[in-house]
Amino acid sequence: MLRVLKRHILLGFLIIGILNFSGCTAIESIEKKLGLKNDYFNYLNSNDVEQISIQSTRDPSFKFIVTDESAIKEMSNLLSKAKISENKSTLEPDYKFEFDLGDEVKEFYYVVGTDEGNFYNDENIFSVSNRLDEGIIKNLSFIRKPRDFDYIYYQSILDVLQRVGKNGNINNYKVGINIKGDVDCLKYVFSTDLNKFTEKAQQIISNVELVNNNDSDFDVVVTVKNRGYDSTNFKTLITVTNKKENTESKYYVVAVNEFKEWNIDILESKPDNW
């Protein structure tokens, strides 16, 4: 038994010695064979990269240019750990990345928060894990959402749907939720979050969908327009247009964060401080 133990210890030291002698190359080779690393994005480490641009697919005005060499190399390091995938994500992309190489621009679409095929173009598909999502967003601080954004933004709409859903006729109509014009918030809206929100909304009103440039397909349209928010205050106007009954109702959502909890009030009359 002691002889076998010594043999394993010697073998361990031998492997460590080989890896130390061969350096990072051997380690990277093993990582590639295990699918833990790809070499596709190596060009981001070269001097050929002039800039990286990141464009929100929902907010045309939300575009940033990355030229800092250390930031580009960090992006390369994160993307090198993405796994090659056979299938694209079925969700709509949240961002479009453009790697400007001077005489060539490589474009990729990025779906935040899902593992399967969420960083892709027409020729290549990669899966960026949630952990890498956090790394990319942390480095690209301009993408960082305000605190509690997901909760307060989507919950305020759900609360209005709860109120609208009490109308018995609403379940006989096709209902669409339109956030396309909510330009102050679109840069913080991700497809994975929208997917979760839609599932919750359908538990309230079964025949509800998101409007995607098809406003005319719906009997009732719920339009969301934010009126300002920060870490303690949030205001949103939600308009419900019922085409079948030729009515329009406005809901003024006012929320205040007190003691780390959001108190949401839904008013049907415009408040004085609106």
CA distance 197 to 148: 15
Average pLDDT over residues 64-87: 87
- The answer on pLDDT for 33 being more than 50 is no
Beta bridge partners of 64: 54
- The answer on pLDDT for 236 being more than 90 is yes
What is 147-185 written as a DSSP string? TTHHHHHHHHHHHHHHHHTTSGGGGGS-EEEE-TT-TTT
β-sheet with 105-110: strand ranges across:
63-66, 51-56, 95-100, 105-110, 119-120, 125-127, 83-84
- The answer on pLDDT for 252 being more than 90 is yes
Q: Both 136 and 159 in a single domain? A: no
- The answer on pLDDT for 172 being more than 50 is yes
Q: In sequence order, which residues have a C-beta less than 8 Å from that of residue 126 and are 6 or more positions away?
A: 38, 40, 79, 82, 83, 84, 85, 117, 118, 119, 120
Average pLDDT over residues 28-41: 60
Among 10-14, 68-72, 215-219, 267-271, which stretch is predicted with the lowest mean pLDDT? 10-14
250 pLDDT band, cuts 50/70/90, is: very high
On whether residue 99 sits in a domain, the answer given is yes
Q: Both 156 and 263 in a single domain? A: yes
CA distance 227 to 24: 53
- The answer on pLDDT for 166 being more than 80 is yes
Among 45-59, 114-128, 172-186, 204-218, which stretch is predicted with the lowest mean pLDDT? 45-59
Whole-angstrom distance between the N-terminal and C-terminal Cα of the chain? 80
CATH number at residue 83: 2.60.40
Average pLDDT over residues 259-272: 92
Among 99-103, 108-112, 145-149, 232-236, which stretch is predicted with the lowest mean pLDDT? 145-149
Longest C-alpha distance within the chain, in Å?
88
220 pLDDT band, cuts 50/70/90, is: very high
On whether residue 67 sits in a domain, the answer given is yes
Average pLDDT over residues 172-178: 95
Q: Both 212 and 187 in a single domain? A: yes
Amino acid at 118: N
Asked if 91 and 114 touch (Cβ cutoff 8 Å), the reply is yes
Q: What is the pLDDT of residue 131?
A: 65
CA distance 65 to 14: 47
Count up the domains in the chain and report the number: 2
List, for residues 80-104, the tens digit of each pLDDT value.
989 999 999 999 999 999 999 988 9
Q: Both 110 and 167 in a single domain? A: no
Phi (first) and psi of residue 220, to 5 degrees: -130, 130
- The answer on pLDDT for 30 being more than 90 is no
Beta bridge partners of 267: 252
On whether residue 44 sits in a domain, the answer given is yes
On whether residue 74 sits in a domain, the answer given is yes
* Tally of residues, the chain: 274
Among 143, 166, 184, the domain-final residue is 143
On whether residue 53 sits in a domain, the answer given is yes
- The answer on pLDDT for 264 being more than 60 is yes
On whether residue 136 sits in a domain, the answer given is yes
Domain that holds residue 103: 38-143
Q: Both 128 and 160 in a single domain? A: no
Average pLDDT over residues 229-250: 94
CA distance 215 to 221: 7
On whether residue 7 sits in a domain, the answer given is no
Q: What is the pLDDT of residue 75?
A: 84
Strands 220-229 and 175-178: parallel
On whether residue 29 sits in a domain, the answer given is no
Q: What is the pLDDT of residue 156?
A: 96
CA distance 81 to 129: 9
Torsion of CA 24, 25, 26, 29, to 10 degrees: 120
CA distance 220 to 131: 39
More confident residue, 94 or 138: 94
Asked if 116 and 67 touch (Cβ cutoff 8 Å), the reply is no
CA distance 228 to 235: 6
Q: Both 158 and 263 in a single domain? A: yes
Q: Both 62 and 124 in a single domain? A: yes
Q: Specify which of 1-10, 11-20, 38-47, 172-181 reaches the highest per-range mean pLDDT.
A: 172-181
Among 115, 143, 171, the domain-final residue is 143
CA distance 79 to 173: 45
List, for residues 139-165, the tens digit of each pLDDT value.
655 566 778 999 999 999 999 999 998
Among 99, 126, 143, the domain-final residue is 143
- The answer on pLDDT for 34 being more than 70 is no
